[in-house]
Amino acid sequence: MEPHGRVDVNLYNFAERSLATVESVAYHDGIPGHHLQISIAQELTGLPEFRKYQEYTAFVEGWALYSERLGKDIGFYKDPYSDYGRLDNDMWRAIRLVVDTGVHSQHWSRQQMVDYFHDHSSLDETNVQSEVDRLHRVAGAGVGVQNGATKILELRDKAKTALGPKFDIKAFHDQVLDSGALPMDVLEQRGRCLDCGAEVIVSDSL
């Protein structure tokens, strides 16, 4: 039997949810996002068992957010409605940075958080309420996700500069994923050889 995976779709209050972000969420939670990254980690050999299931928010969620961007890079989001959903998701993540800081540093009320989401995005009420609950519970969650995606993009740009025409984006992705989830500073220190034998320079210290 061929190996297969399953992505569960959250149907809570489905009639009130916007469908604009369906494509970006598919990349985030499915392929090449969470499902691919977690499956690779769990199938690795030669690692302590706990390393296969370790989660670092910046890495795991950062990779999934990067995956949304990757869909655009390779030519998807051909439907303008889906592309609008991708952009609205980008705005959603930017709002998280403000609201995360607002509640945990500036002691915003729940209503201030809700109002900020409504004032700056077209997110439906169901998603706004669930996001506010999430950000209340986990300090730094919004910041960690964005930092992770930003770091992966930064490392990709460094590798492209270092390798020039020899840069292979698939090989770069292998380098990011082939040791399971890592703290971002550890990921940054990794300097492995690609199949062409050229060193990927991902840190000023390498």
Q: What is the pLDDT of residues 65-106, one digit of tens each?
A: 999 999 999 999 999 999 999 999 999 999 999 999 999 999
At 205, is the pLDDT very low, low, confident or very high (cuts 50, 70, 90)? very low
- Identify the pLDDT of residue 63: 98
Percent of the chain with pLDDT over 90: 75
The residues near 205 (Cβ < 8 Å, ≥ 6 apart) are 189
Lowest-pLDDT choice from 39-43, 141-145, 199-203: 199-203
Q: What is the pLDDT of residues 31-63, one digit of tens each?
A: 999 999 999 999 999 989 999 998 899 999 999
- Identify the pLDDT of residue 10: 80
Closest CA to 64 of 34, 21, 36, 89: 34
Of the two residues 112 and 142, the one the predictor is more confident about is 112
Residue 159 DSSP class: H
Q: Is the pLDDT of residue 186 over 50?
A: yes
Closest CA to 122 of 72, 78, 71, 87: 87
Closest CA to 167 of 199, 190, 189, 191: 199
At 2, is the pLDDT very low, low, confident or very high (cuts 50, 70, 90)? low
Taking the C-alpha atoms of residue 42 and residue 133, their distance in angstroms, rounded to an integer, is 30
Q: What is the pLDDT of residues 159-176, one digit of tens each?
A: 999 999 999 999 999 999
- Identify the pLDDT of residue 12: 85
Closest CA to 169 of 152, 186, 156, 188: 156
Closest CA to 176 of 166, 164, 190: 190
Q: Is the pLDDT of residue 1 over 80?
A: no
Give me the DSSP letters along 72-133: HHTT---SHHHHHHHHHHHHHHHHHHHHHHHHHHS---HHHHHHHHHHH----HHHHHHHHH
Of the two residues 69 and 194, the one the predictor is more confident about is 69
Closest CA to 62 of 89, 34, 22: 34
Q: Is the pLDDT of residue 125 over 70?
A: yes
Q: Is the pLDDT of residue 203 over 70?
A: no
